[in-house]
Chains A and B, each alone.
Chain A
């Protein structure tokens, strides 16, 4: 018997018991719906986060003091020894570290910025002039400070976009206006592009000033031997293929500069963007396994439901099966008919589940706005195939039972 014919019979049988069919599908609907919704949202978040990382600057290495070790901070060895501007300059030397396109140093601390009676507490980034280049980040108004500003320890400041909005509420032109940072007057020379939140806090809520000005005039946080202390050094590498080589060269350089003996641990950490993304990927991977487990359980329950209803259906339709056999249906005809019925049940459940999951994902992304849920064709196809396979698997036993019915007994069945 043709599959198409079996499909038509199956649709008719399912339509005859609409409520029962829908209730039977529920397990599959919930399973597939949950997977589609969560996978779509997961993908949306992943894309959002990946975009955020990409926004940090391309092929970026983060070099920070201290070592990320296991266990709570109080138990960690290695009291933190700061990185310095000297470290940054050494990294910038192409004869020491190849493949480095640009390097910037950043000293971060909290400051109070005020203007015209308004005061905001924001993060100050005291940086070297290459900072915009390394972070792939430009000003919208004015410009970033120059090497000259830095050398002369000028009291100039570039505002993050949100800090600008807070201090200049009426979109006043900020250039050459004066703001006070920790009570000291600074001249505004630029405003950064809006970057949004991301790893390492919201950089729109910050101010940028020369490292030299900050350390010499404002914070006075030089190292005991008079070096400029920095929180983090950013190195942008010319090509992503060269990142491991650059990372190794920087490690060797810093170990040498900091006198770390053979076999002793580094007292600094180099993190690449890929490291950050892979950490995030690990989290996402764990989440995916969790989702998979939910889906598997739900599909299992759904499959058992299908088997149950198919067994009921076979019993109810014993006479029909007897008749079909009497007029010439072979075992395989009956088997295929009931298998297709089970698969149709599961496949329709899967489709409803996909629609449900998709709607849910859309609602969630509308609600949060920050990211857009991505419903992948692969996820849809995979769930439909898996749902149908569940129908097939759990339909085998009832269909086999139907195919083995003796037509004489089946016709006489009341």
Chain B
């Protein structure tokens, strides 16, 4: 299978977009949100997709996240073509292959952390006991082993986002898709969350795709794709410049304040 596909590193890309276009009909006007995007993301990558608003960034995220289908082009997720699937088939793909992390956390109110994390497993049809164990493991992994039965309103913003990350992890997806995950967090908490993502990526090899317009988020990634006017403007692979294994920031990674200083200096 690897031979047949013959792709870089001999591995199947998690995401393989081929000439993706998306056209919205707004009244009489056709809006071309994406005009032919090619992109491959390989297992273990931590990639930021950046672009100003109106660049087609959100549309691309919706397509990568299997929330929407492209007008033309193909999208292979883990080697399986998902670009022409129906709603319920997409729901199953999202359930098994994709973990979402949102800017506003999107936790169910009045529902414990464990129950929130269990949610994808419910739709995967997993039994109650196993579900609970998996959810607890995921929460421990994000450092919330002592907050299992707390409800969202009893948790800080950073803790809520950790619950959301645990929820994204719990189904062991092919990738985590994070939409501005630090947008609602203060600087210190943002760094903690980004380092958590980095740790999950480096220690567990989880593929993570960020969709952001925040350059600080991009600094944690080893690949940055910039999109503008529905086309990929640049695709740059490099060493992360922030976080636990970053070249420059390594020594100060545990200190949020100094990390910020370094970044500001760079600018």
Residues on A facing B (Cβ under 8 Å): 1-2, 5, 12, 16, 319-320, 322-333, 407-408, 411
Contacts and interface: CB of A to CB of B under 8 A. Distances in A.
12 contacts: A1-B122, A12-B111, A322-B106, A324-B119, A326-B67, A327-B95, A328-B123, A328-B124, A329-B123, A331-B87, A331-B91, A408-B68
A327 B67 contact: no
A328 B95 contact: yes
A285 B212 CA distance: 72
Given A1-B123, A408-B68, A328 B92 contact: yes
Contact of A333 (B68, B102, B110, B123): B123
A224 to B, nearest CB: 92
Complex A-B, nearest 5 residue pairs according to Cβ-Cβ distance, in ascending order: A328-B95, A328-B123, A327-B120, A330-B88, A323-B106
Contact of A411 (B92, B106, B110, B111): B106
Nearest to B95: A328
B214 interface: no
A146 B102 CA distance: 101
B91 A330 contact: yes
Contacts of B95: 327-328
B96 interface: yes
B62 A326 contact: no
A106 to B, nearest CB: 75
Nearest to B96: A328
Contacts of B31: none
B88 A16 contact: no
B164 to A, nearest CB: 10
Contacts of A331: 87-88, 91
Interface string B215-242: 0000000000000000000000000000
B91 A328 contact: yes
B75 interface: no
Contacts of A333: 123
B67 A330 contact: no
Given A327-B100, A328-B94, 6 more contacts: A325-B94, A327-B95, A327-B120, A327-B123, A330-B88, A331-B87
B85 interface: no
A408 B67 contact: yes
Contacts of A12: 110-111
Contact of A329 (B65, B68, B91, B167): B91
A330 B89 CA distance: 8
A55 to B, nearest CB: 60
Given A331-B88, A333-B123, A408-B67, A326 B100 contact: yes
A5 B87 contact: no
> Which of B62, B65, B123 has the most chain A CB atoms closer than 10 A to its own CB?
B123
A329 B121 CA distance: 10
Contacts of B94: 325-328
Nearest to B127: A2
B108 interface: yes
Residue from A12, A323, A408, A411 having most chain B Cβ neighbours under 10 A: A323
Given A12-B110, A319-B106, A411-B102, A324 B123 contact: yes
Nearest to A15: B110
Contact of B92 (A330, A407, A408): A330
B197 to A, nearest CB: 19
A326 B94 CA distance: 7
Interface in B97-120: 100, 102, 106, 108, 110-111, 119-120
Nearest to A409: B67
B109 to A, nearest CB: 8
A313 to B, nearest CB: 13
Contacts of B122: 1, 5
Interface string B32-71: 0000000000000000000000000000001001011000
Contacts of A320: 108
Contacts of A408: 62, 67-68
B229 to A, nearest CB: 21
A67 to B, nearest CB: 74
B22 to A, nearest CB: 12
Contacts of B102: 411
A331 B89 CA distance: 10
A5 B91 CA distance: 18
Looking at B92, B119, B167, which has the most chain A CB atoms within 10 Å of its CB?
B119
B179 to A, nearest CB: 9
A2 B95 CA distance: 16
A279 to B, nearest CB: 59
A16 B110 contact: yes
Contacts of A324: 119, 123
Contacts of A5: 122
Interface in B123-157: 123-125
Nearest to B119: A327
Contacts of A2: 125
